[in-house]
Amino acid sequence: MPEAENLSTRGAVRDDKAEVLEICERVYGERDYLPEVWDNWVSNEPSSGEFRIGMLDGRIVGFYHLTYRGNQSWMESLRVDVDRRRMGIGRRLTHDALDRVTAKGSRVIRLVTSQRNLGSRGLFREQAFEEVTYPHYMKFDGVMHPSSDNSLVRNPERDEIVKFLHSSGSLGGPHFLSPLWWRWWEFDEMMLDELLENGSALGLGDGGNLDALLLLNTTSRFGYKNSVQITFLGGTIQTMYTLTKHIPRYLDKTSGDEGITGYFSIPARGSEAEMALSQASFEDGTNLVVVQKILT
Ligand SMILES: CC(C)(COP(=O)(O)OP(=O)(O)OC[C@H]1O[C@@H](n2cnc3c(N)ncnc32)[C@H](O)[C@@H]1OP(=O)(O)O)[C@@H](O)C(=O)NCCC(=O)NCCS
């Protein structure tokens, strides 16, 4: 559309905060997570990624954020101001993102959106992204009370974890995507080590043999609250449910001194992990879709 042809893009600076947050307010009201992560995203740390701003007639009209993990890239927080929709701005910002990640050597770009967000799904379908997985956000806001002791529940050794992940197909198989906070990456040993370094693993099984495994991580290192993220990496509904009930006992290393604000997990829709979480009284949240585009 003609108006978007004049769109220019640039990196965000701290002074953009007020204008960016006004747009967030108009788009999502109070429900937006972006105000909370803003400082982290404009901190110029290598891990803070790139926050890109779209300008039209001297005003900010849209923006998005990129992060990288090796040669994979992640796009998030694409927003176009409410009175500037359907002018091609979202498409232009997406092209800007594709140009940037391609120039950086990414072989794939991904993002997540709500299944109900038909505008976003339409935009990315049009740009030849494919829908690759359908996760389900689930949360538990109350206080978790631990079950009584179970000698099979423990913090497993790394070797044991790797062996289990190979046998459950979570490691080594192609394109197994797992969320780290709200970003889905191909799961590999590097990601496992990062999760173990910043959180902990909880396994069920006797000496040397695991029947179920979950990883615990807190979101504060992404600049966002102190929620505990639970990632299941194998097990049956019953064994995963048993593990969930023992989480509070094993949180010391993960939670640090700050109080925990809640628990969440984003299992694949229809998975055994989803059923185990339902049994453990986790509330149903948004049904999501992860889309990706392979870049050549
Ligand atoms: C999704 C969003 C970024 C689209 O921005 P936009 O500038 O309005 O999109 P564009 O004008 O560039 O649209 C490009 C194409 O996407 C599709 N599209 C965009 N909005 C759509 C809608 N509401 N319904 C159906 N298709 C839509 C269409 O194919 C459109 O092409 P067309 O207008 O020629 O039919 C915008 O609606 C937005 O900010 N939504 C809230 C935040 C959000 O959902 N972000 C994406 C998830 S991270």
In the chain, % of residues over pLDDT 90: 76
CA of 185 to the centre of ligand 1 (A): 25
pLDDT in tens, 200-218: 999 999 877 899 999 999 8
| CA distances from residue 189 to 1, 158, 165, 198, 258 in whole angstroms, order as listed | 45, 10, 10, 14, 28
Q: Are residues 57 and 144 part of one domain?
A: no
Domain that holds residue 19: 2-106
What are the pocket residues of ligand 1 if the criterion is a CB atom closer than 6 Å to any ligand atom?
A: 27, 78-80, 85-91, 111, 113, 117-120, 122-123, 126
Which ligand 1 atom is the nearest neighbour of the CA of 94?
12
| Residue 131, pLDDT score | 97
CA of 84 to the centre of ligand 1 (A): 10
Is residue 257 scored above 50 in pLDDT?
no
Q: Is the dihedral of CA 5, 116, 52, 36 positive or negative?
A: positive
Q: What's the total number of domains in the chain?
A: 2
CA distance 169 to 174: 9
Q: Are residues 250 and 211 part of one domain?
A: yes
Q: Are residues 252 and 147 part of one domain?
A: yes
| Residue 126, pLDDT score | 97
Asked, for residue 125, whether it belongs to a domain, the answer is no
Which ligand 1 atom is the nearest neighbour of the CA of 76?
48
Nearest residue CA, atom 21 of ligand 1? 119
CATH number of residue 22's parent domain: 3.40.630.30
Boundary residue ending a domain (62, 87, 106): 106
Which ligand 1 atom is the nearest neighbour of the CA of 80?
39
Which ligand 1 atom is the nearest neighbour of the CA of 87?
11
pLDDT in tens, 160-176: 999 999 988 888 766 78
pLDDT in tens, 106-150: 999 999 999 999 999 999 999 999 999 999 999 998 888 877 888
Contact in structure between 184 and 289 (CB atoms under 8 Å): no
CA of 87 to the centre of ligand 1 (A): 9
| CA distances from residue 162 to 156, 189, 236 in whole angstroms, order as listed | 10, 8, 18
Candidate from 115, 123, 129, 286 with most ligand 1 atoms within 8 A of CB, to mutate: 123
Q: Are residues 144 and 282 part of one domain?
A: yes
Asked, for residue 113, whether it belongs to a domain, the answer is no
Contacts of 34 (CB under 8 A, 6+ apart): 20, 21, 24, 77
CA of 118 to the centre of ligand 1 (A): 8
Identify the residue whose tokens are 């740009």.
Answer: 127
Q: Are residues 102 and 160 part of one domain?
A: no
Contact in structure between 26 and 2 (CB atoms under 8 Å): no
Q: Are residues 27 and 146 part of one domain?
A: no
List, as one string, the DSSP characters of the chain: -GGGGG-EEEE--GGGHHHHHHHHHHHHGGG-SHHHHHHHHTS--GGG-EEEEEEETTEEEEEEEEEEETTEEEEEEEEE-GGGTTSSHHHHHHHHHHHHHHHTT-SEEEEEEETT-HHHHHHHHHTT-EEEE-BEEEEE-SPPPPPSP-TTEE---HHHHHHHHHHHTSSSSTT-EEEETTEEEE--HHHHHHHHHHEEEEEESSTT--SEEEEEEEGGGGTSTTEEEEEE-S--HHHHHHHHHTGGGG-HHHH-SSPP-EEEE-PBTT-HHHHHHHHTTPEEEEEEEEEEEE--
Q: Are residues 97 and 158 part of one domain?
A: no
| Residue 101, pLDDT score | 98
Asked, for residue 120, whether it belongs to a domain, the answer is no
Boundary residue ending a domain (83, 106, 129): 106
Q: Are residues 266 and 141 part of one domain?
A: yes
Boundary residue ending a domain (60, 86, 106): 106
CATH number of residue 149's parent domain: 3.40.630
CA of 268 to the centre of ligand 1 (A): 25
Nearest residue CA, atom 47 of ligand 1? 113
User: pLDDT tier at 220 (50, 70, 90 boundaries)?
Assistant: confident
Q: Are residues 176 and 35 part of one domain?
A: no
User: pLDDT tier at 98 (50, 70, 90 boundaries)?
Assistant: very high
Q: What is the mean pLDDT of residues 246-270?
A: 79
Question: HSE (CB half, 13 Å, CA atoms) of 178?
Answer: 26
What integer best gives the mean pLDDT of the chain?
Answer: 92
CA of 59 to the centre of ligand 1 (A): 19
In the chain, % of residues over pLDDT 70: 96
User: pLDDT tier at 226 (50, 70, 90 boundaries)?
Assistant: confident
Candidate from 28, 74, 80, 96 with most ligand 1 atoms within 8 A of CB, to mutate: 80
CA of 112 to the centre of ligand 1 (A): 14
Could you tell me the pTM of the whole model? 0.94
CA of 4 to the centre of ligand 1 (A): 13
Which ligand 1 atom is the nearest neighbour of the CA of 120?
1
Is residue 7 scored above 90 in pLDDT?
yes
Q: Are residues 17 and 142 part of one domain?
A: no
Q: Are residues 211 and 76 part of one domain?
A: no
Is residue 1 scored above 80 in pLDDT?
no
The listed range with the strongest mean pLDDT (68-77, 142-151, 252-261) is 68-77
Is residue 2 scored above 80 in pLDDT?
no
